[in-house]
Structure 1
Amino acid sequence: MFNAFEKVFTVKESDTAEAVGSGGLPVLSTPHLIAYMENTAMTLMSEELNEKDTSVGMEISVQHLAPTALNKVVSVKAQQTDKSGKVFTYEIEAYVDEELIGKATHKRAIVDKDDFMKKVRP
C-alpha cells in the first residue's frame, strides 16, 4: 500500500485569482490550488528523501471544479499511486466543507540538490 497525506490551507487574499492576475474575482486561483496540491505531495514525498536529495514537480494534470471564497479552509489529500525508480505519481483531491473542488494527477522526481542546481542557468 502506498502512502497518503492530508494538509490544510486557508485561502488568503494573496491566493485569489484577482490578486495573481489569473482572473478578476476574489476566489482561490487555479495557480494557488496547484501550489497547495504540489506542496501536499512534496510533503508526503519528503519521507523518501535523504538530506542530499529533494523532490521536484515534473508534471501535473489538474481540474479546478468549484470556486472557493476568501478565508475558506481547503483540505488537500495526496495518495501515492505509483513509484517508478525516482519518479513518484500522486492522485490528489482538494475539498472545502466536504465538497470536491479540485483533483489532479501529479508526478515528482527525486533529484540530488547539488546536481540539480548545477543545471540552473544564471
Structure 2
Amino acid sequence: MTPPPDDTAPDHSAPAHAVTQHEVTEADTALAVGSGSLPVLGTPRLLAWCEAATCAAIEHTVPAGSTSVGTRVELEHRVASPVGATLEVTATLAHVDGRLHRFSVAARHTGASGGKVVATGEVTRVVVDAERFLGRV
C-alpha cells in the first residue's frame, strides 16, 4: 500500500522559472524612491521586481512552514525606462545547493522597444524555517 501524498512536501515537478510584468509609474521613478533626481525607473524598484520574480519562481518548491529570504544580489541596470514603459522580468533557477537557490534575472522592455535588455543579474535566496527565522530577529 502506498502512503498518502504529503501536502507539505515541496513540488519539484515544475521548473523554477517565473515571468512578471510591470508598468513604470511615477511611484517607481528614481526621483520617487530616492535613488536619483530623474523621472526614470529607479534601480531599487527594478531590484524589487527582480526579487519578486524569484519569489514567484521558488514558491512552489518551498515546504509548508518555510519561506525563502534574499541573501545576495548582483544587478546591472543598463538602460533607462521612462514612465509608461512596460517591463517583463524573468527569473530562472541557475543553481541549487541544499537550501541555497541562485537565480539568473533579466528585465526587458516590451511593446515598441520590445526585447531591449534593461537589466541582468543574479539573486540568491535561502530557504529557511519561517518561525525559527522570525524568532531570531
Same fold flag (TM > 0.5): yes
Within a 5 Å distance, the mapping from 1:12-51 to structure 2 comes to: 12-51=25-64
Q: Does 1:11 align with 2:10?
A: no
Alpha-carbon distance, 1:2 to partner: 5.2
- Give the ranges of 4+ consecutive aligned residues of structure 1 lying more than 6 Å apart after TM superposition: none
Answering whether residue 131 of structure 2 is matched by residue 118 of structure 1, we say no
Question: Could you list the per-position Cα deviations for residues 28-87 of structure 1 after superposition, in whole angstroms to 9, with x for gaps in the alignment?
Answer: 000011000000011101011122011100000110000001121110011101100000
Q: Distance in 1 between matches of 2:33 and 2:15?
A: 35
- The answer to whether structure 1 residue 99 and structure 2 residue 99 are counterparts is no
Q: Where do 5+ consecutive residues of structure 2 fail to align?
A: 1-13
Aligned residues of 1:57 and 1:106 also touching (Cα < 8 A): yes
Aligned residue pair count? 120
The one-letter code matched in structure 2 to 1:99 is K
Q: CA deviation at 1:11?
A: 1.1
Q: Which has the higher strand share?
A: 1
Q: Which of residues 34, 51, 54 is equivalent to 2:67?
A: 54
State the distance in 2 between where 1:85 and 1:25 align. Answer: 42
C-alpha distance in 1, partners of 2:108/2:89? 6
| C-alpha distance in structure 1 between counterparts of 2:91 and 2:27, whole Å | 24
Contact conserved, 1:63 with 1:103, CA < 8 A, in 2? Answer: yes
The DSSP-based 3-state class of the residue aligned with 2:40 is: coil
Q: Provide the alpha-carbon RMSD of the alignment.
A: 1.3
Q: Among the aligned pairs, what percent are the same residue? A: 28
- Higher mean alpha-carbon deviation, 45-54 vs 28-37, is at 45-54
Look at both structures and tell me which one has the larger radius of gyration over its CA atoms: 2
Q: Distance in 2 between matches of 1:3 and 1:118?
A: 28
Q: Which amino acid aligns with 1:98?
A: G
Q: Which runs of 5+ in 1 are unaligned?
A: none
Report the CA distance between 1:12 and its aligned residue. 1.7
1:47 aligned partner, one-letter code? H
